[in-house]
Amino acid sequence: MEQLTEVQKAKAILKQNGYFVDNLWSVQDVTDLYECTEEQAQDVLYTALNNEATMEQIFYAIGDACDCENIELKEEVSCDNCGSVNIIKSFSGDISCINCGWDENRE
C-alpha cells in the first residue's frame, strides 16, 4: 500500500470533518506567475479568496449546482423589494437580489 503524504493525510482529515478539499490553492499558483515571496503569495491568496465578490460567486455557483441537482433550499428566502427568489447570500450573511439589485444593507 502506498504511503500517504503529509498533504494527503491532512486533506483526508479535513474531508472526514466535512470540508471540501478537492480544489485547494497553493502559493505556487501565484509564484509561478508573479515575482513575489511565498509570504506575499499567501497574502495575495488571502485577499483574492476572501474577496466579497469571490464569496458571492461561490455561493451563486453553489445555488446553481443545487438547482441543477434539484436540491431544494431548506428555507426559501425572497427579495423584500420585488419578491424574487433569485437571491445571493454573501459569505458575511448579507442578502442581495439578482433580479432587481436590492441589497438588505442599502437604503
**Residue 37, phi-psi category: left (phi > 0), alpha (psi -120 to 50), beta (remainder):** beta
DSSP, collapsed to helix, strand or coil, labels residue 21 as coil
The pLDDT of residue 45 is 96
| Higher pLDDT, residue 47 or 77 | 47
The pLDDT of residue 106 is 60
Cell triple for residue 90?
Answer: 454573501
Cell triple for residue 24?
Answer: 485547494
What single-letter amino acid sits at 73? L
Q: What is the pLDDT averaged over residues 4-22?
A: 92
Distances in whole angstroms, Cα of residue 74 to Cα of each of 39, 63, 83? 40, 12, 18
pLDDT digit string (tens) for 26-72?
A: 999 999 999 999 999 999 999 999 888 888 888 889 889 999 999 88
